[in-house]
Structure 1
Amino acid sequence: MKRLTLLWACLLATLTLLTGCISGPDLKGQPFFTPPAETSPDQATLYFYRTAASIGDAVAPTIHIDGKAISSLPSGGYFKATVPAGKHTIDSTSPPVISGKVNKHFDINVENGKAYFIADQVGTSDYHDGQTLGGVDNASFGGERFYSRYALVPTEEALRGIKWCQRVPVGVQ
């Protein structure tokens, strides 16, 4: 009996420690988004954001641009990346504790001097607004169907959602 209790205690402690690895960086004390003054004329600016989610909020995917890990994207967070004009490949991978596999993959063509807002979105209805990058995934949790995607969101719409997101600390993956 003692052995079983010890085993359960060790399992619980391990899961508690792993939660920190899965959930991503702590955003406490980080500033909320403020609109940029200007974009760089010789680079494109990509803003990745994820509004606070009710499902999957404990998982922070890592965003890769052209094969290079840039940052994790926790629920309620955002980060910015600058890239030269042209076609870029974006991959989103789940934390290694879960699978370490590419969950989403898409290409995006960008122009220097422009800002692009890319949202990680989850909803209860399928998306048909023309903003989807790559594809829409769907899954069932607790008997309810959920749809997830990355979306290229128009600036005005993005500024309404991203203003409630906090900056992901630089260099956090």
Structure 2
Amino acid sequence: MTNLFKALVAGAFVAFVASGCASGPRYKDVASSIPTLKEAQGRIYFYRSSSMFGAALQPGINLNGTVVGKSQPGGFFFVDEPAGQYVVSTATETEKTVSFKLDAGETKYVKTSVGFGLLVGRVIPSLESTDEAAKSLEDLHYTGAPQISASK
């Protein structure tokens, strides 16, 4: 392989991986414009760090069986839902879940992380503390996920 060809392949790979990362305004730039919660609802933030590891893995994020967004490296989004029991799931070669109770006025934070799998990586949802999420969200990009309710 010539050096020029190697450079072109490397450039194409970087462009491919970068195109999969979230773009849009950063959390710190939109935080003040995020609407306040309605009285009977809670809010669930979904986010993923901007690691290059597993960047091509971007499965849908399901909330009680309804796709509410996508796990994108460097991205976040949120949904507002009525108080109740919720199950967040992601699936690549296997399905991974996390369950929790959401109270009215409460905010929960679900981080999705890439782990090793047998054939492909796995995207694993986990509940995070407010403090941990606040540190992580600061530089992430809003993915503009549609506000789809899981509580139809």
What TM-score results when the alignment is normalised by the length of structure 1? 0.61
Alignment deviations for residues 42-87 of structure 1 (CA, whole Å, 9 cap, x no partner): 1110000001123111111211111111111110011101111111
After superposition, the CA RMSD in angstroms is 3.1
Does structure 1 retain, via aligned residues, the 8 Å contact 2:43–2:79?
Answer: yes
Distance 1:65 1:147 in 2: 17
Partner of 1:108: 100
Does structure 2 retain, via aligned residues, the 8 Å contact 1:44–1:85?
Answer: yes
Tell me, yes or no, if structure 1 residue 169 matches structure 2 residue 144: yes
Consecutive unaligned residues in structure 2, runs of 5 or more: 1-12, 148-152
Distance 2:95 2:139 in 1: 25
The 4+ residue runs of structure 1 with deviation greater than 4 A are: 137-141
Does structure 2 retain, via aligned residues, the 8 Å contact 1:39–1:115?
Answer: no
Q: How many residues of Structure 1 are paired with residues of Structure 2 in the alignment?
A: 127
Q: Percent identity?
A: 20
Structure 1 residue 106 displacement after superposition: 2.4
Structure 1 residue 140 displacement after superposition: 8.0
Paired residue type of 2:135: R
Does structure 2 retain, via aligned residues, the 8 Å contact 1:117–1:158?
Answer: yes
Partner of 1:67: 65
Does structure 2 retain, via aligned residues, the 8 Å contact 1:73–1:168?
Answer: no
Distance 1:56 1:46 in 2: 24
Consecutive unaligned residues in structure 1, runs of 5 or more: 1-15, 95-100, 123-136
**Taking structure 1 as reference, are residues 83 and 102 closer, same or farther at Cα in structure 2, changes over 3 Å only?**
farther
What TM-score results when the alignment is normalised by the length of structure 2? 0.68
**Taking structure 1 as reference, are residues 171 and 38 closer, same or farther at Cα in structure 2, changes over 3 Å only?**
closer
Paired residue type of 1:73: S
Distance 2:139 2:127 in 1: 18
Partner of 2:7: none
Does structure 1 retain, via aligned residues, the 8 Å contact 2:89–2:125?
Answer: no
**Taking structure 1 as reference, are residues 52 and 38 closer, same or farther at Cα in structure 2, changes over 3 Å only?**
same
3-state SS of 1:58 partner: coil
Distance 1:170 1:148 in 2: 18
Structure 1 residue 120 displacement after superposition: 1.2
Distance 1:102 1:41 in 2: 36
Does structure 2 retain, via aligned residues, the 8 Å contact 1:44–1:111?
Answer: yes
